[in-house]
Structure 1
Amino acid sequence: MKIRFIIIVSLLVLSNSLYAQKETSKYKLGLNYGQASQDNFILGDTDYNYNNHFLKVQVNYLISTSNKWNYELTIEPSMYFVKYQLLNEQFIRPTDPNYIELRELYTQKRRFNEYALNIGLIVRYALLKNFSTYIQGSVGPMISGDDTERLKKGFAFSDILGLGFSWKQKNVILDLRFTLRHNSNLDLSLPNSGHNSAGIETGVSFNL
């Protein structure tokens, strides 16, 4: 929730510079691939396994630049291919209706897809002429293809926080990024414990 609020406020503040730009704005278009998991030393939770690999189309818009700092709007339509399994059947309590059937259902390994549209901000710092590091924060709507004991299928939100490095050669930019991701639905429907994952993604993009 705090991440969403900070990102939204930052976008509103920085959007004013869109009208102050005197130079032609620069766009970048790219494609990223990555893998992420809940089962790691950062997020390890013995209740469930949540693993995915994903594809992202990435569109970046240069909002402003100052010395070695760049501020970019980023839009990422994404598709996640998920493998999921409940590990701790006690997460579903006996007080829940049909808890035995639900335990049998959710402890089975399952596959489903998620579709997200994240919008956010990248703050980039140039370490060298063609090499930079950046932080990224984004939020956006998501559609999940199946129920889990932690999240109702259908509409939810995808929150992403990332740390990355980019290397640029002429109009080609190569990316390596570590990301943390959280999915939940603001209690619009239950359950809403959400899914967490941490992963690595790589990509290539081009200046337009």
Structure 2
Amino acid sequence: MGITLGDVFPNFEADTTAGRIKFHDWLGNSWGLLCSHPADYTPVCTTELGRMAKLAPEFKKRNVKIIALSIDSVQDHHGWTKDINAYIGESSVQNLPFPIIADEKRELAVQLGMLDPSERNKEGLPLTARAVFVIGPDKTLKLSILYPATTGRNFDEILRVIDSLQLTACKKVATPVDWKAGEDCMVLPNISEEDVTKLFPKGIHIKALPSSKKYLRFTPQP
């Protein structure tokens, strides 16, 4: 099982720390970020959810709703939240700025292809891997990254990728290696020279190459 880029993301129903949700209704017209976690009260996950909480304003600025998933119960999630907030210095805060899905039966983990067979709990059951899913307002999957349970995510990179996804969804550009918001973009190969002037009034510059092919066309970010 699993889901690939361009697929409609499953409209699952689940219990969360913010009540029961139906995913598409919860998402509405926003972008979405779903991050899965191996289990509650685990060290790497605690640092990750703390980082997500700290970055919540950045995701909100980008119209991205964030949600986490772990294989334990809602009650466990609420208890774990206290540890997460203590870790980031927010001990007086009762909730996180996003819900956590309870996936006790691993149904979503199986449906979305998120299990890590090499990492198992004390009962011998596979843990959920660190999946990252970015879902567009059209409810289709725009990005997936799968980390093993032992490696924490880089949320600065996730924000960078979301910036690229949102830009390239509405502008006829691609983003080059290590691109950050505000830097030059690349003109798509299928855009003719005749259309370049109309589409990119800020102009373009072409990198000279030994092949003499003019495919490395850069333009200021639209």
| TM-score (norm: length of structure 1) | 0.22
Normalized per residue, which structure has more strand? Answer: 1
Normalized per residue, which structure has more helix? Answer: 2
